[in-house]
Structure 1
Amino acid sequence: MLLVCAFKFDKKKRKKICVWSNIGMDVCCMQSVPVYLSEMAPARLRGMLNIGFQLMITIGILAAALINYGTNKIKAGYGWRISLALAAVPAGIITLGSLFLPDTPNSLIERGHPEAARRMLNRIRGSDVDISEEYADLVVASEESKLVQHPWRNILQRKYRPQLTMAIMIPFFQQLTGINVIMFYAPVLFETLGFKGDASLMSAVITGLVNVFATLVSVFTVDRLGRRKLFLQGGSQMLVSQLVVGTLIAVKFGTSGVGEMPKGYAAAVVLFICLYVAGFAWSWGPLGWLVPSEIFPLEIRPAGQSINVSVNMLFTFVIAQAFLTMLCHMKFGLFYFFAGWVVIMTVFIALFLPETKNVPIEEMVLVWKGHWFWRRYIGDADVHVGANNGKGAAIA
């Protein structure tokens, strides 16, 4: 559980007023859940089921905002303790629920249980589905992975350059969208814009609601529209929203950072912030976890996902630590700063990320082999797709 606390000190009452922003996500879940879902889901539903993970996160963020709003009304001053203690509830649910989760077919094959893997694959695909080709692909992938003795060293090989690049750049860019600035410091930010007390927390609840409903949009469209279209549309929407918010704040506060913001003007700022959150919630938010989890071959999949999570956590920490200092020095320019990064990351996706929808996870190498830039890193000897012989990749 990542907790970010913004303290203000009331010298008259000699007590701390704490505004908590809870992000219901720990490193263990981010490492294992996206990969688990990608291995268990059929290719045609992999995006929808994997983004269900992000949907639960957004519901957790909304629940945290509602809890903060309620506990902030406790006059005795111990509301923050209740808010913090309630984080144990989802942690307990995750712990107990994990005891009932079955192993993935990939994991069973890797640990020498081929028949159990076949039964599990048949169970999750349905008894009326022919699993022989998919099972053969899993066996081939497992046999190749056993030849890799040092996944952390092998991931540096030339043939894995596309996947390694995405595992580093996607989480890096995801944090530089500026979303954590909004979600971590929403109450403080809205209070700075002229909202007071409970109104600032209510604004955080509003952004949480937008986050949930926009993620639902991604759940129902990611396997139809594809990853690239959502990335590009969401990036464009975030760019426009950030430029508008930065400009509106610049007009009223200027470089001094001091000014008054009428209610109607503040409502316009909130509207475009909500549009920004929506753009993130159906693009870079869920896809930042989905795409890295589905592109790695089995032999380097744990190492690849570890890199993805580590980069994400590193830049989450960096942005959280640097935000207040940057805000003091850059003021409204901070929104232009993040808008500039959104331009870079949108161009990056347009040029270097191939479409991965409907491609079986063990045939993903064919996607990179067919890309105009990445194909130079993958030789014919690096392409092994088992009995299916690449048929699934043609769907994309």
Structure 2
Amino acid sequence: MAGGGMPAAPRGVAVERAQQYKGRVTPFVVIACLVAAVGGAIFGYDIGISGGVTSMDPFLEKFFPAVYRRKSHGSKNNYCKYDNQGLSAFTSSLYLAGLVASLAASPLTRTRGRRASILTGGLSFIAGATLNAAAQNLPMLLIGRILLGVGIGFGNQAVPLYLSEMAPAHLRGGLNMMFQLATTLGIFSANMINYGTEKIRPWGWRLSLGLAAAPAVLMTAGGLFLPETPNSLVERGFPDRGRDVLERIRGTGAVDAEFLDMVEASELANSIEHPFRNILERRNRSQLVMAICMPAFQILTGINSILFYAPVLFQSMGFGGNASLYSSVLTGAVLALSTLVSIATVDRLGRRVLLIAGGVQMIICQVIVAVILGLKFGDDKQLSKEFSVTVVVVICLFVAAFGWSWGPLGWTVPSEIFPLETRSAGQSITVAVNLLFTFAIAQSFLALLCSFKFGIFLFFAGWISVMTAFVCLFLPETKGVPIEEMVLIWRKHWFWKKLLPPLDLDTSEEVGRINGHDRALQL
């Protein structure tokens, strides 16, 4: 029951209207989504830039001399060359700050709109990039990283919501993945920049860190001209403006059905005084589980270990400095290209098929890398050229599988499943969990690599097995279901329907909703 438990509280969307939705993909909505998705480039650029910078000798010599000495004079254990908690903190501090910021972003996103959070995130990221580029000591460097984290927290909280709410239902998956595509392009750009700036000594690392401001400037400037989403305008009491925006982005005035869904959803949303408390209610249990598990599993694939520390990882395997950076450029390119596969297929094949197939491919790749390293690499031996090439190829296949499955869908699914009244809170939880696990992996990976050695890849393969089984058993298909009617899919799922409270509806209305949902799944 909504709000304070009043029986007369609005019930939200009660009737399936998906077949009545009108409109098309207009240039207006494409441009708006492209500008908003640049927020993903901010996230991706930092993922890519951190690993490259931490492998550059001038950077290590200035901020982490102990690591520089160990790297320069050799280490008895090839897996432990970079094991340093301070170096890990340089990477992970951003994500801890982002975690806190994402929770603070929820009320702003709900009361001031998605656009306000996008602008706040962009300005904070610009400040952090500037401070990092000018850093003269470790505290200054870490403060800059914290400001970057605030920017990521706000951006990651608002951008996926913005994309989900602007996109037409039948193409929501593909347009929402603009965020992940921009993330992968940001990673690729960072790897390319690192490859170039590594040769500019001793200040090339400053250029790498400072250029992080470029995508933030684009997002902030574009954000000044972005329209607010119609969902947010209706929720905040501006229905006329919301309908105007809806007509513009759908390219038609025949938006009565979609607009009515928004109005009904907003009535329920406005009756909820405490979204974070409401999201814990039994009727929201399934969405809450997904908001926690999907981002956690996305990180437990081990992808960030490769993307953060690709140059470090390849150098630990015996690759030279330039070769390791070149290999990380290759993985970044593969990630970007594979995301296009997901964009092209997600609204035809569905979310579940891509997640399950990607999981199987990632498990195989992780096991192959672990076997090669276990047999051919160790404290007293280096990989041969042939096996080095094989490792890079298999890692690229792993990255490709992530790029068309868990990479984009780890963000897409949570952003589309929440009802309007808990959508901002749900997205904050998704981002917070993602950043919590990102922080944990970033802080612990170098130590885990040192302790587990090749077993680190088997560790991640185990988690991928768990999450693939989770999708098979517990994730319903959301392809083609309008975002305001997503609440209906849980009552059709074999497991979640057992946990949901009974509907406060008469029999005929219940039958109408179920039949309407069946028709939506068939489309």
How many Å separate the matches in 2 of 1:320 and 1:11?
Answer: 20
Q: Answer whether contact 2:491 2:500 (CA < 8 A) is retained.
A: yes
In structure 2, relative to structure 1, the CA distance for the partners of 1:73 and 1:148 (3 Å cut) is same
SS in structure 1 of the partner of residue 267 of structure 2 = helix
Which amino acid in the other structure matches residue 206 of structure 1? L
Which amino acid in the other structure matches residue 224 of structure 2? L
Deviates more, 1:312-321 or 1:130-139: 130-139
Identify the residue that residue 40 of structure 1 maps to in structure 2.
Answer: 166
Which amino acid in the other structure matches residue 226 of structure 2? L
Identify the residue that residue 68 of structure 2 maps to in structure 1.
Answer: 9
Can you give the 5+ residue segments of structure 1 that lack an aligned partner in the other structure?
none
Identify the residue that residue 154 of structure 2 maps to in structure 1.
Answer: 28
Identify the residue that residue 362 of structure 1 maps to in structure 2.
Answer: 484
2:190 is aligned, of 60, 64, 69, to 64
- Whether 1:350 aligns to 2:475 is no
Offset, 1:260: 2.0
How many Å separate the matches in 2 of 1:337 and 1:41?
Answer: 37
Offset, 1:364: 0.6
- Whether 1:236 aligns to 2:349 is no
Which amino acid in the other structure matches residue 161 of structure 1? R
Deviations 1:18-47 (A, max 9, x none): 999899981222100101111111111000
SS in structure 1 of the partner of residue 503 of structure 2 = helix
The CA RMSD over aligned residues, in Å, is 2.6
Q: Answer whether contact 2:276 2:425 (CA < 8 A) is retained.
A: yes
2:314 is aligned, of 173, 185, 190, to 190
Identify the residue that residue 288 of structure 1 maps to in structure 2.
Answer: 410
Which amino acid in the other structure matches residue 230 of structure 2? P
Which amino acid in the other structure matches residue 326 of structure 1? L
> What percentage of residue pairs aligned between the two structures are identical?
53
Identify the residue that residue 78 of structure 2 maps to in structure 1.
Answer: none
How many Å separate the matches in 1 of 2:219 and 2:380?
Answer: 45
In structure 2, relative to structure 1, the CA distance for the partners of 1:336 and 1:84 (3 Å cut) is same
In structure 2, relative to structure 1, the CA distance for the partners of 1:92 and 1:209 (3 Å cut) is same
How many Å separate the matches in 2 of 1:237 and 1:383?
Answer: 44
TM-score scaled to structure 1, two decimals? 0.92
Higher helix share: 2
Identify the residue that residue 306 of structure 1 maps to in structure 2.
Answer: 428
Identify the residue that residue 247 of structure 1 maps to in structure 2.
Answer: 371
**How do residues 1-396 of structure 1 correspond to structure 2 at under 5 angstroms?**
2=46, 3=50, 5-6=54-55, 7=60, 8-10=67-69, 26-75=152-201, 77-127=202-252, 130-253=254-377, 256-381=378-503, 391=516, 394-396=519-521
How many Å separate the matches in 2 of 1:142 and 1:257?
Answer: 61
In structure 2, relative to structure 1, the CA distance for the partners of 1:311 and 1:225 (3 Å cut) is same
TM-score scaled to structure 2, two decimals? 0.71
Offset, 1:113: 1.6
Offset, 1:382: 6.4
Which amino acid in the other structure matches residue 9 of structure 1? Y
How many Å separate the matches in 1 of 2:425 and 2:203?
Answer: 42
SS in structure 1 of the partner of residue 318 of structure 2 = coil
Q: Answer whether contact 1:235 1:346 (CA < 8 A) is retained.
A: yes
In structure 2, relative to structure 1, the CA distance for the partners of 1:382 and 1:165 (3 Å cut) is farther
Can you give the 5+ residue segments of structure 2 that lack an aligned partner in the other structure?
1-42, 61-66, 74-81, 96-147
Which amino acid in the other structure matches residue 28 of structure 1? F
In structure 2, relative to structure 1, the CA distance for the partners of 1:143 and 1:9 (3 Å cut) is same
Report how many aligned residue pairs link the two structures.
389
Offset, 1:377: 2.5
Q: Answer whether contact 1:62 1:208 (CA < 8 A) is retained.
A: yes
How many Å separate the matches in 2 of 1:238 and 1:184?
Answer: 18
Deviates more, 1:212-221 or 1:24-33: 24-33
In structure 2, relative to structure 1, the CA distance for the partners of 1:201 and 1:12 (3 Å cut) is closer
SS in structure 1 of the partner of residue 68 of structure 2 = strand
How many Å separate the matches in 1 of 2:178 and 2:241?
Answer: 27
Offset, 1:257: 3.7
Q: Answer whether contact 2:489 2:517 (CA < 8 A) is retained.
A: no
Which amino acid in the other structure matches residue 352 of structure 2? R
How many Å separate the matches in 1 of 2:245 and 2:504?
Answer: 28
How many Å separate the matches in 2 of 1:302 and 1:108?
Answer: 14
How many Å separate the matches in 2 of 1:317 and 1:142?
Answer: 35
